[in-house]
Amino acid sequence: MRSKKKVLRKSGWNWNAFFKSVFWYYKKGMTGKAVFMTLIIIATFFVGLIPVMIYCGANGNKDFYNFVMKNQIII
């Protein structure tokens, strides 16, 4: 049986982060950015949801990679 090893990607589009947006950041433990994006969405009366979703899809992999490297988390 082969072991499943998770690979961190530094860049690229992340569809999971795009569709789940803020919730994906909460799930991955990046609560600071998640709270900030939640406040943006609420302050703009949900008009800011689309830009936040695009940001999450485009930068989700990079943000998670930096979070793991900074905190030395084993995934």
CB 58 within 8 A of CB 13: yes
CB 64 within 8 A of CB 28: yes
1 inside domain: no
Q: Is the dihedral of CA 46, 15, 11, 68 positive or negative?
A: positive
2 inside domain: no
Q: Domain span at residue 21?
A: 17-71
21 inside domain: yes
In degrees, to the nearest 5, what angle opens at C-alpha 19 toward C-alphas 21 and 15?
105
8 inside domain: no
54 inside domain: yes
Q: How confident is the model at residue 8 (pLDDT cuts 50, 70, 90)?
A: confident
As a whole-number percent, the residues of the chain with pLDDT over 70 amount to 92
Predicted TM-score (pTM) of the model is 0.85
pLDDT tens for each residue of 16-34: 999 999 999 999 999 999 9
Tokens of 18: 């795009």
12 inside domain: no
What total number of domains does the chain contain?
1
Alpha helices in the chain (DSSP H): 15-20, 22-28, 31-43, 49-71
